[in-house]
Structure 1
Amino acid sequence: MRVQPTFMRRRSPLAIMLVSLALLMSFSVVVASNTNETPSNSITESVDSQIRNLNESDGETFTVTVDGTNLRFSPDTIIIKEGDTVRFLWENQLLPHNAVERNGVFDSGDPERNVDYTYTFNVTENGTYEYVCEPHEDLGMIGTIIVEPKPIPEPEPEDPADEDDNTTAMSVGSGEISGFLFAPWFIGVIVLVGFISTRSDQFQLGLILEEEIDAVLIDDDGGEEGKTLVESYSARVFTLCALYVAQGIPWGFITVTFVTYLAAEGFAAKDLAMLLTLGTLPWSVKFFWGPIIDRYQYRPMGRRRPWILIAQTGMILLLTLMVFFIDVEKDVTTIAYMFLVYNIFTSLQDVSTDALAVDILKPQELEKVNGYMFTAKTLGGMIGGAGLGTIISYTGIRGALIVQIPILLAIMMVPLYMRERPGEKLFPWSEDSHLAFEDAVSSNQNFREIIGKVKTAFSLKSTQLGILLSLFVSLSHFLIPLLPLLFLRELDWSQERFNATKGGLVLIITMFGYLAGGYLGKKFGGKSVIIYSTTIGALVTAFWGLTESWWGSEFYLVFIWSLAEFMMAIVSISIYSLMMRITWSEVGGTQFTGYMAMMNLSAIIGYQIAAPLSERFDYPTLFLIAAVFETLIIATALFIDPDETRRELEDVTIEQQAPESITITPAA
């Protein structure tokens, strides 16, 4: 009798969850279709808006004083218009006076010898008002105010140029696509996922991706008693996590703090998208760094450490330049391009740090330390998001940039005073070690060999699909520059409140998503986690868009936002593991960096389509489109064979398949 696979026996709860979400979506479609405002409400709101505009317009001020000799108001009768203000003003009078309207419309208070009191007659308050001085009313101290209606000006024909300006200032467009039109797509996705659930073995859903991931290790002894990175596990974890915190800070600052600041200052979606594009662009081409850092090394200080120090020095110098030589409060365009250069150094540090991790981590440490590193990056994102988001409200952009300099200097101390291997020197001017390094493999490497191996690695179907998957994974990021506009302009959130939520709570939820993704991948299989989590995440995004009438609830918004980020964090960490699985160890650094670069290119594509989509569609439709983009991950990941690289390339006779060895011999 055929034994049912373990994962097959567990699919019922997942199926029930998917069906429940589908029913919730159907319900929300009905809710969304019944929450349209009636014409009478629209007319009422239009009239109220017009009245508010008239009230806010500047009116004239008329001053009424006191004739203390004759006990009369001066003048005792005035004619004004709606929107004008009457000021009752007198000083050092012999007797106390006040001004009280007979029906209680205004009242200057108790009779005083010195009074300065104003009252503005708003629109709809036209008419004749009689007021008195209470102590001297019987003596004829009575005044009259005649308020005439204020004419409502007819709107002037709009200049086409003004219309363009208004369009730029608007958050999003007004185009709408009914949720019913999206329903067949999501139903089809659910049916597809249900179909492949019945064929989990065929699609390798239960395969544990990370159980056999190999690393090219440099150290031979595996000892844990020394202080260098290859000798000490704690030193490895501390150093790698510190470097990932350094990468997370600018990411959090740009994607949360700076974008939110510009949204609050009135910048349009296309401006925010351009900033995010410039900030992400260096990450999309960072695969060029891989061959360079593999080819050129200063071995007396370590294989990767010199590149890390160069990158961090560049980051600190760029921040210093922005703070002291550029008007950061006004020249936002220049700042955006400076961040482009800044992130070139950040991407160099990222590639060097990943290469360092591949060099020094042992196979059994990869999964655990990878989780620590992404958690550290999330912590850096919280510092750059919630932390600097709070600071920027008090100090402006300049203050937020200044704070980053000492933080990066402190982090730079970690690699500055940490050696990769025994015998390496800390600084170029330090005394040479009595040990000489012989790295036969690296000395024979050249760009032609590296490129040839990369072409071999990407000749397989699964590695090519990995590129396509990487290009799909971040298309829904077009929502990132739109969320500040939604929360600040449409939902009236403050800048500080949005920064604290996105850069704090949401990032914490994302961090737990990374941890949960690693756990679920080991329990159920990486591909199954990708497919099921993507399905649930896409349905959550769609549900968010279909429940616009609930957006007034802060609890609901934070919950649905956090849930969407949690699910996509699970997807992301599982995709990283899948990319590692299909990466050939011969060109591991370059190939894996290529996948990461494609993911960043995917984000850039998402940022670039943000402006045209937001100019055309309303927020609910934009969320539905984002959900469709997310489901594209399923169709690509489904056909990736995680074992193809090992199966097809394990017999390739390349000498470098053996672990790279470095021998240390006494110098002559």
Structure 2
Amino acid sequence: MHRRLTAAILLGLVVLQISMSGAMTSPQHSEIRDEESKFLSSVNILNESEGEIVVVTVDGTNLRFTPDTITLKEGDSVHFFWSDELLAHNAVEENGLFDSGDTSRNVDYTYTFKIGENGTYQYVCEPHESLGMVGTIIVEPMPVPEPEPEPEPTTDDDKSSTLSVGEGEITSILFAPWLVAMFVLVGYISLRTDEYQLRLVLEAEEVEDVVEEEETETGNTLEESYRSRVLTLCALYVAQGIPWGFITVTFVTYLAAEGVAAKELAFLLTLGTLPWSLKFLWGPVIDRYQYRQMGRRRPWILIAQSGMILVLSTILLIPNPASDVQLIATIFLIYNIFTSLQDVSTDALAVDILKPHEIEKVNSYMFTSKTLGGMIGGAGLGTIIGIVGIKGAILLQIPILLVIMMVPLLMTERPGEKRFPWDENQITEDEESLQNDRDFSEIIANVKTAFSLKSTRLGIVLSLVLSLSFFLIPVLPLLFINELDWSEERFNATKGGLILIITMLGYIVGGQLGKKFGGKAVIIYSALGGALLTTTWGLTENWWSNDLFMISIWSIRTFVFAMVSMNIFSLMMKITWSEVGGTQFTAYMAMMNLSAIIGYQLTDPIASRFDYPTLFLIAAVLETLIIIATMFIDPDETRRTLSA
């Protein structure tokens, strides 16, 4: 209704302007118009051929258009395309020149700038404008065509690459010394495995028991039972994925379909994501306040899950959730406060209870479980919402969360702890008084102690360099769709199908290899192999038209870096001191998120200057920084120094 009214007003103003222009016509104006007509006639010939088409996608993680600034000429087109995004978006020029329509998770819209439409245009995603999701299109005038000289015969050497984002090129020879140096470096540390801790870091008595430990469980607590640890952590990671998928996909899509305004959706999403942006604040809280009689982390997890279920249930009491977005936004804020609390508490629990030799393996299961949870909350509930309705989707989610809650409810972290508050207390007074004496000054002192070690400080560096090559992620759809003529459907089916499966396999295999050969070794060798694959991708431009080659190298590279990411996550757990596990580990996660943001922000300044092969070579160099940041980290330093 509002958009129609606005369009009507704009149309009226245009008609009024035309009328006034006609009334003010003079001989001088006629001469100017004659000159304009001659100019337009001379360049309209160019409209007979298609101009350049530039694809603009979205970065769903940071809510940005990619690229956010483009330069075109009159006659060129901008093609807004995205598919199966978690959130619905649109692209609307601020003065109404173009409009992709209502917000949608799937957009395929093209606008061609006509002769005379040169200038600078600002456009926005209506629901996310307040979050900075804006873009700029600079349209340059079409030059008057000049007679073209007779073409001269060309050879293959004269042909420039058609696969280019920018026009710059850096010869591969300049990258060779760095990559060769990385090979030499990895070879050097491979000859000094003990010095650089490339083997499993275990005490002698642990080495003898690792093989038999899983079969010789002595109790049912998380500290005693390997199976209990795996079951509990995987269940909790599924519970982390379900709410996020449900909120960002299922519920937002429902509200949009019910006609909720874009501004209100933006407000809802802002409040919903705020607790996740500030979740690092939970770290000192869960480290400071603990009820040791029921475990260090379990009470916080149970509080978080109980809050999630209760808050989610309140939506069932609202007759029409789409009619009161302010109330729903408040509920979402409270709901995500509890989900972020569970996220931090679960990670801290993993730091506390996992044995050094099983961190990599169990983390691979946890990563896979979280992915499955997101699929349940997003794709699963989003698919059946048309059958059971929004309240039916909530009703289905509640029993799932209740079943998951039974796992930590019936488990205990350590022997002697109470399962329920009314059970007999078996914790000694010394242990209880130890926790009661803790305050925030002690927490801060412990955090300073934790980060006083070389390995823990290098963990921050490693977290910050992990995702710098992410600038390549928004480039891939441009390469496949815009240059290699893949259809949008095929690209998204490959990315959301095969590549997702490959990623999950990389998590699982990476965990197994990390347990057998040591997570640090897997990180270094996999990062080197991944950088080599990225380099190969950039140097084999002549093979890019071969679909089998492109899918194969994309899949293998994805698999390798899934192993890298999973083992880095595990390494951060190993160097985290359990006394401040919530605070320290959350700090590493925050640095990893910052690294991803930096990587995405590098897309425009780098991709707009260099061609595709150069972009792959730059990414390969950035990926080798992982090797340098990892090689000096001692996975056992925290345990050996602070936990002795």
TM-score range, shorter chain: 0.5 to 0.7
Q: Distance in 2 between matches of 1:556 and 1:433?
A: 64
Q: Does 1:310 align with 2:303?
A: yes
Alignment match, 1:190: 179
Q: Judging changes above 3 Å, is the alpha-carbon distance between structure 1 residues 634 and 170 closer, same or farther for their aligned structure 2 residues?
A: farther
Q: Distance in 2 between matches of 1:333 and 1:185?
A: 56
For the aligned residue pairs, the C-alpha RMSD in angstroms reads 5.6
Q: How far does residue 195 in structure 1 lie from its aligned partner after superposition?
A: 1.7
Q: Does 1:249 align with 2:242?
A: yes
Alignment match, 1:59: none
Q: Is the 8 A contact 1:281 1:601 kept in 2?
A: no
Matches within 5 A, 1:52-131: none
Alignment match, 1:144: none
Q: Is the 8 A contact 1:179 1:546 kept in 2?
A: no
Q: How far does residue 338 in structure 1 lie from its aligned partner after superposition?
A: 8.1
Alignment match, 1:629: 622
Alignment match, 1:470: 463
Q: Which amino acid in the other structure matches residue 199 of structure 1?
A: Y
Q: Is the 8 A contact 1:476 1:629 kept in 2?
A: yes
Q: Distance in 1 between matches of 2:633 and 2:244?
A: 30
Q: Distance in 2 between matches of 1:316 and 1:485?
A: 42
Residue among 116, 141, 148 paired with 1:157: 116
Q: Judging changes above 3 Å, is the alpha-carbon distance between structure 1 residues 641 and 277 closer, same or farther for their aligned structure 2 residues?
A: farther
Q: Judging changes above 3 Å, is the alpha-carbon distance between structure 1 residues 443 and 410 closer, same or farther for their aligned structure 2 residues?
A: same
Q: Which amino acid in the other structure matches residue 534 of structure 1?
A: A
Residue among 555, 566, 574 paired with 1:573: 566
1:633-656 Cα shifts (integer Å, max 9, x gaps): 233223434465567x36xxxxxx
Q: Distance in 2 between matches of 1:208 and 1:155?
A: 64
Q: Which amino acid in the other structure matches residue 180 of structure 2?
A: V
Residue among 386, 405, 415 paired with 1:412: 405
Q: Distance in 2 between matches of 1:380 and 1:548?
A: 38
Matches within 5 A, 1:36-435: 45-46=50-51, 155=114, 157-158=116-117, 160=119, 162=121, 164=123, 176-177=165-166, 180-181=169-170, 183-184=172-173, 186-200=175-189, 201=191, 204-205=195-196, 207-212=198-203, 224=217, 227-230=220-223, 232-250=225-243, 286-316=279-309, 343-362=336-355, 365-384=358-377, 387=380, 404-420=397-413, 431-433=422-424, 435=426
Q: Judging changes above 3 Å, is the alpha-carbon distance between structure 1 residues 246 and 541 closer, same or farther for their aligned structure 2 residues?
A: farther
Q: Distance in 2 between matches of 1:306 and 1:620?
A: 52
Q: Judging changes above 3 Å, is the alpha-carbon distance between structure 1 residues 189 and 406 closer, same or farther for their aligned structure 2 residues?
A: farther
Q: How far does residue 533 in structure 1 lie from its aligned partner after superposition?
A: 1.6
Q: Which moved more, 1:272-281 or 1:626-635?
A: 272-281
Q: Is the 8 A contact 1:172 1:616 kept in 2?
A: no
Residue among 470, 488, 493 paired with 1:493: 488
1:197-228 Cα shifts (integer Å, max 9, x gaps): 3422458456224435999xxxxxx9956554
Q: Which amino acid in the other structure matches residue 188 of structure 1?
A: P
Q: Distance in 2 between matches of 1:508 and 1:383?
A: 15
TM-score normalised according to structure 1 size = 0.58
Q: Secondary structure at the match of 1:181?
A: coil
Q: Distance in 1 between matches of 2:384 and 2:176?
A: 46
Q: Judging changes above 3 Å, is the alpha-carbon distance between structure 1 residues 389 and 631 closer, same or farther for their aligned structure 2 residues?
A: farther
Q: Which amino acid in the other structure matches residue 241 of structure 1?
A: C
Q: Distance in 2 between matches of 1:359 and 1:391?
A: 38
Q: Judging changes above 3 Å, is the alpha-carbon distance between structure 1 residues 510 and 533 closer, same or farther for their aligned structure 2 residues?
A: same
Structure 2, unaligned runs of 5 or more: 1-45, 54-73, 78-111, 126-132, 140-162, 207-214, 256-264
Q: Distance in 2 between matches of 1:396 and 1:619?
A: 46
Q: How far does residue 451 in structure 1 lie from its aligned partner after superposition?
A: 1.6
Q: Which moved more, 1:637-646 or 1:390-399?
A: 390-399
TM-score normalised according to structure 2 size = 0.59
Matches within 5 A, 1:512-591: 512-521=505-514, 525-541=518-534, 558-584=551-577, 586-591=579-584
Q: Secondary structure at the match of 1:199?
A: helix
Q: How far does residue 513 in structure 1 lie from its aligned partner after superposition?
A: 1.6
Q: Report how many residues are paired.
A: 494
Q: Distance in 2 between matches of 1:47 and 1:373?
A: 45
**Greater RCO (Cα-Cα under 8 Å, separation 6 or more):** 1
Identity percentage over the alignment?
61
Q: Judging changes above 3 Å, is the alpha-carbon distance between structure 1 residues 522 and 390 closer, same or farther for their aligned structure 2 residues?
A: same
Larger radius of gyration: 1
Q: How far does residue 465 in structure 1 lie from its aligned partner after superposition?
A: 1.9
1:442-463 Cα shifts (integer Å, max 9, x gaps): 2332222222122122223332
Alignment match, 1:118: none
